[in-house]
Amino acid sequence: MHLYLREQPVRTLLLTTSSEDERRGCPRRALTFRAEGAKEASQATVELMLKDDVDFNGLIRLTARQVHGCLGLINIANGTSDTEKDCHEI
């Protein structure tokens, strides 16, 4: 997987499958996280998309190395839950 950032017009992080992942059979996907509301707000819209539907113009790849997973917190119905994803779950 690769991690990309777009600052404008809305700050967006994208986690996408790499060509190596796709050769191993992972589907061509992109998980997008878009900031919502004021800069002080800690809310984001999360969307799972087909990689072919993503506009890569203006994206900056944040690391030359592949990302092997994503570990973070997701707020679900007023509770918090730990979550871990890899290419097979996306």
Query: What pLDDT, in 10s, does the model give residues 33-56?
Result: 888 776 656 678 889 999 999 989
Query: What is d(CA 79, CA 24) in angstroms, rounded to the nearest whole number?
Result: 35
The mean pLDDT of 21-39, rounded to a whole number, is 85
- The model's pLDDT over 53-70, given as tens digits with 9 standing for 90+, comes to 998 988 999 888 777 766
pTM: 0.68
Query: In this structure, what token pair is assigned to residue 87?
Result: 């290419």
Handedness of CA 84, 50, 6, 41 (dihedral sign): negative
Chain mean pLDDT for the chain: 76
Query: What is the pLDDT, as a whole number, of residue 80?
Result: 43
Q: Which residue has the tokens 């730990």?
A: 82
Q: Report the pLDDT averaged over residues 69-90.
A: 48
